[in-house]
């Protein structure tokens, strides 16, 4: 519901100032953001591989090959990819501020930073959840169904955050 409200704000502001939207959207680095998006979407794949390992009750890997990885290794990779996404967003923000587009510049800046910023906060929340699940895997004697269920629940959240980003990417970067 929260992101539905953000989408509504974005579309409402966009409809009231189409000229502003077209001029400000030119400042976006679409290839960079597409690369960042691909990294985030691929992190859903690595997350799901971690879920498959958790469902097998394999908390940790038995070797260095990805086919031998457990949930912890896959979730660490997912964490790294999510972190790269967040750093990419921060870099994009710094670039846009350098081009005189800040949250208080105009309605486009407000809508852009609110929608992408709140998404970024949700990504950070997911990263914290991954660390908690990984920590739990190391702290329990036996990795069981309870721990596997935690991993699955975190994956649901991560997949949702990714799907929301795909919608935001299409609306902000593709539909001009």
Could you give the domains of the chain?
2-174 (1.20.120.80)
Q: Which residue has the tokens 């997912």?
A: 78
Query: In this structure, are residues 150 and 62 in contact, taking their beta carbons and an 8 Å threshold?
Result: no
For residues 64 and 21, give the distance between their C-alpha atoms in angstroms, rounded to a whole number.
48
- If you average pLDDT over residues 127-131, what whole number do you get? 98
State the pLDDT at residue 1: 80
Q: What is the mean pLDDT of the chain?
A: 93
State the pLDDT at residue 161: 96
State the pLDDT at residue 117: 95
Two tokens, residue 75: 């979730």
pLDDT higher than threshold 90 for residue 176: no
- If you average pLDDT over residues 128-136, what whole number do you get? 97
Nearest of 46, 77, 71, 37 to residue 57 by alpha carbon: 71
- Please report which confidence band the pLDDT of residue 136 belongs to, taking 50, 70 and 90 as the band edges: very high
Contacts of 112 by beta carbon, 8 Å cutoff, 6+ apart: 24, 96, 101, 172
Two tokens, residue 32: 């960079």
Q: Quick: pLDDT tens for 61-103.
A: 888 888 889 999 999 999 999 999 999 999 999 999 999 999 9
- If you average pLDDT over residues 106-133, what whole number do you get? 95
Two tokens, residue 136: 């739990």
What is this structure's pTM?
A: 0.92
State the pLDDT at residue 19: 85
- If you average pLDDT over residues 138-151, what whole number do you get? 93
């Amino acid at each position: 519901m929260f992101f539905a409200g953000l989408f509504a704000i974005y579309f409402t502001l966009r409809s009231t100032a189409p000229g502003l939207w077209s001029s400000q959207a030119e400042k976006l680095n679409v290839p960079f953001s597409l690369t960042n998006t691909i990294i985030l979407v691929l992190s859903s794949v690595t997350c799901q591989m971690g879920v498959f390992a958790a469902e097998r009750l394999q908390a940790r890997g038995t070797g260095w090959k990805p086919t031998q990885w457990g949930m912890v290794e896959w979730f660490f990779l997912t964490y790294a990819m999510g972190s790269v996404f967040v750093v990419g967003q921060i870099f994009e923000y710094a670039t846009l501020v350098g081009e005189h587009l800040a949250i208080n510049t105009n309605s486009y800046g407000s809508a852009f930073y609110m929608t992408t910023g709140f998404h970024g906060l949700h990504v950070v929340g997911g990263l914290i959840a991954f660390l908690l699940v990984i920590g739990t895997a190391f702290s329990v004697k036996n990795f069981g169904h309870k721990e596997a269920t935690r991993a699955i629940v975190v994956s649901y959240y991560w997949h949702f955050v990714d799907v929301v980003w795909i919608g935001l990417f299409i609306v902000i970067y593709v539909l001009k």
